[in-house]
Amino acid sequence: MQMRVVFMGTPDFAVPALRALAEADYDVVAVVTQPDRPKGRGKKNTPPPVKETAGALNIPVFQPIKINDPDFIILLQGLHPDVIVVVAFGRILPKDILTIPGYGCINIHASLLPKYRGAAPIHRAVTNGEKVTGVTTMYMDEGLDTGDTILCETVPIHDDDNVGAVHDRLAVLGAKLLIKTLGLIRCGRAPRLPQSGESSYAPMLKAEDELIIWDRPAADINNQIRGMSPWPGARTTLHGKVLKIWRAELFEDGGGAVLPGQVISAGSEGIIVQAGKGRLRIKELQLQGAKRLSCADFLRGTPLPAGMFLGASL
């Protein structure tokens, strides 16, 4: 007999898991996702990626405004799920939902719990310069990513990885780990391990997380740039406009009396900028209202003479 699954998820990260469930021997009876949101310059209501995927798979979709709405909870009960799978849904589930499925609610979390509990584990791991991250499957409880773990698997974070590259690897890994987890649950062999070790929190990104403070070490700024690419982008300012820096690398500090944020040189190979300790070579950037460009293309339209500063207040 097939296991009846309700899937809860919203962004791109959840899509591989939903597809894996649909392709495996599971009866996905419904998908629950966030309401459509305004997006883009036209602010047109746009469905979440999980909703689009569910439509292509002919799976019924529900988009409750409030997750604890009594009518929605009754609807879920009527679906009689054996398990509820939650992947980057974006809401904390109340006890009335957690207790519906016989096998419980299973979450895929993009970190090695208990590190990086919360909404932005991938961004925070890359920004903090972590060398290793991973995926954990867990039984959900009423806390924030505090439930007993089932399986986990690690992946390296390479020096040139941005958050997009790590996100994509973890999404695929999470889908594989989910199928393995549900197989263990179905045959009664899934472990249930209380979380142990030092915990940390990965809060949702705020505007200040994007702002480059040039007084910081170059290595920290480079990690910030990697951890904000391809979304939302690390930013500084140039000529009173926002300047997003998408790709950079560490550059050997040549010494000299140079201040943080000061441009040392600018050429086709990159824009060298002094940090609080060390220097960065900027490789890819985007001025407000313009396209994302390589350094060489950017400098054709916007010269950056040595000695000028990035980061002046708007």
For the chain, give the DSSP string.
-PEEEEEEE-SGGGHHHHHHHHHTTEEEEEEE-PPPEEETTTTEEE--HHHHHHHHTT--EE--SSTT-HHHHHHHHHH--SEEEEES-SSPPPHHHHTSSTT-EEEEESSSTTTTBSS-HHHHHHHTT-SEEEEEEEE--SSSS-SPEEEEEEEE--TT--HHHHHHHHHHHHHHHHHHHHHHHHTT----B---S---B-PPP-HHHHB--TTSBHHHHHHHHHHTTTTT-EEEEETTEEEEEEEEEEE----SS--TTBEEEEETTEEEEE-SBSEEEEEEEEETTS--EEHHHHHHHS---TT-BS----
Q: Which of 178, 96, 184, 92 is nearest to 135 (CA)?
A: 178
Instruction: Tell whether the model's pLDDT for residue 88 goes beyond 50.
Output: yes
Model confidence pLDDT, tens digit, residues 272-300: 999 999 999 999 999 999 999 999 999 99
What pLDDT is stored for residue 82 in this prediction? 98
pLDDT at 313 over 60: no
pLDDT at residue 41 tops 80? no
Grade residue 255 by pLDDT with cuts at 50, 70 and 90. confident
pLDDT at 227: 98
- For the cut 80, the answer to whether the pLDDT of residue 237 exceeds it is yes
User: What's the pLDDT band for 312 if we cut at 50, 70, 90?
Assistant: low
Average model confidence (pLDDT) for the chain? 96
Per-residue pLDDT at 209 exceeds 50: yes
Two tokens, residue 103: 């096998």
Q: How many CB atoms lie within 10 A of CB 273?
A: 29
User: In which residue ranges of the chain is CATH 3.10.25.10 found?
Assistant: 207-301
From-to residues of CATH 3.40.50.170 in the chain: 3-186
Distance separating alpha carbons of residues 145 and 3, to the nearest angstrom: 24
- The reply to whether CATH 3.40.50.300 applies to domain 3-186 is no
| CATH classification number, 207-301, choose in 3.90.1170.10, 2.30.30.100, 3.40.367.20, 3.10.25.10 | 3.10.25.10
Residue 194: the pLDDT is 98
Percent of the chain with pLDDT over 90: 94
> Mean pLDDT, to the nearest integer, of 31-54?
92
Using alpha carbons, select from 258, 261, 233 the residue that is nearest to residue 246. 233
pTM of the model: 0.95
What pLDDT score was predicted for residue 314? 39
Q: Are strands 44-46 and 263-267 parallel, antiparallel or unpaired?
A: unpaired
- Measured over the CA atoms of residue 195, residue 197, residue 91 and residue 231, the dihedral's sign is negative
